[in-house]
Structure 1
């Protein structure tokens, strides 16, 4: 049962209330403070300080300072009036009602803040992805423009070379006409047969010419003399090669087959040759770190870490070594894998109780008891432990009447347990000394 602190002091001004609560000999690291507009509670085991304020205060503008031996509360009044006393005169039912209202109000406010943070985080993530996609699009457009410019430049150079080559060929193939004694001589271009056969080109010295008379008529045309064409010289080596080529047996044609091409999987839509690998690796690393900051990542876990029973054993080891936060992480990961094991909730409730998280301890105990159905002899001891732990958490929260009922229920399941009998006796004595504790 907690000891109610009565030796506190308070003072006031027109706009503020100053409260001084002694802490000796408790360390300030163990102080659990719950301030609201109407109700203020400070729990530093085994002591408890709570006050139901006469008027409302602005808790957002108020200040709290925890020193080695003192708690200092500077509360800002909502109205600048002088208070006759610090605390209201309330009945036990009124106190219970105000406590419940403040708890529900704080829970609703915390839930709303959590939802706002989730919405803001989602908006930031969406903005980050949009910016990354925009940067990728800009880089892709820049690469396309540079590639098109280089292609156009190369095509212009090729077109210029082609035009110059055609003009040179025309000048070579069409020489200017010659005139001899009034006779115009026009040279004909070589025939297709002559162009195909390189040996005939070398052997033919003179080309066929056509004479057209364009001047005054002449009585006797000038005779034209032609040199006889040279006979081609045969080469034994060339004839031998031709025979070998004629006798050569060509290999069979290849059979048609289908070839499957698999591309390397990529996170980004751009090809690897057009991407900046360093920037992509940095972006992927930042995304992975952000995912790991919010919890476990499945690809980072070993196969045995995917077993909820293994998570329970690991959490038990952490609990025995005093690493309560590690134990809670192990139990929570096991629950995410399978939420049907009551032992995970029961052991996590014990860890929350050791850390002083009594509300979370109550929730886990209730969930574990819901999963231990139907009640039987094999889970009788486990149910008794969960009920006793829930009774202890209720006592720490100040609900002694409910805690006594819970502890008696645990005693019915384990009638020979001396620890439960002693706890029932201590709670009943505490209730007799201070019946208004809950």
Structure 2
């Protein structure tokens, strides 16, 4: 049960309410602040501070600070008025109702913020994809433009080369055609009168006739152009290599080993855990049972058959558990102490250290049992075990306080204080427990 903090101080101005809550020496990470407009809570185990402001505050403009020894709350007022008191006078039912309303409102707000973040994230992802697509399209356009430019450049160069070659061939063909035409004109007889009449036609017919004559004269000339002869193919001469010939001879002379002989191989299976014959229908159940047994053995402690000789020493287990405890591996420390107890249950230090580990994990009932067992083993009481007995009694009192038995915890802590009267920590714990008992005397 948490201990309510009542020794806080507060002051106010026209705009701000200042609250200072004393903070015991605890880590800042362990202080849990929950400020809202109607309800403010600060939890630092085992203490709890909560306040229900007289009027609603503007929590967005307010400030909260956690320092080494104090919590500072600067609450901004919604109206510039003077408060008669800090808190409202409410019953337990009304306080519970306000807590429930604030919690539901905060859950809805957190859910809405989560949905808004998801929507914003999806929009950013969509925008990112669009930008990536635009960049890709621009790169593709740039590549296409460069490719088209290179293609056009190559085609222009090819066209210039073709036009130059065609012009050279046409000039050579024209000279040949002129020579042949002159010979034909000389060989032809003079036209008759009828032919002369037919020749006197329109200019269009003359132009068409001239084109036909050019085609007829060009065809035999083009056919008579000789083609370029292909150069003869070079004769391949095989190249011989001494290394290749040597390897071929070695491969031909190689003697292969004989085939392996067949033999019988005996296989000895490990003995079955179950006395019954193996069946396919129960194979899954057997595997599940073996897995659960293995997990149970690992959870309860170490397997003694797998340990080294030095690991069978309870003192070694205690030192190993202390090392795990210092490193924060509380489960490993409990396993080490438990295995040491199974080896020897007469060492009170194993029970005392395991009780400290259970207290760190919050297993207060187990902590009580281990403290009582350690105290039973520390008999007879003497000066050598006085400090150890005081620590066990103080730890048992702290566990009782966590379980809500404040009256018994106070008696136990006073007994520890008698053994160590100079210990300031024990005296401070007695003072805090008595104050908590005064605030809530019906805790038992």
TM-score, L = length of structure 2: 0.45
TM-score, normalised to structure 1, is 0.45
Q: Which has the larger radius of gyration?
A: 2
Structure with bigger helix share is 2
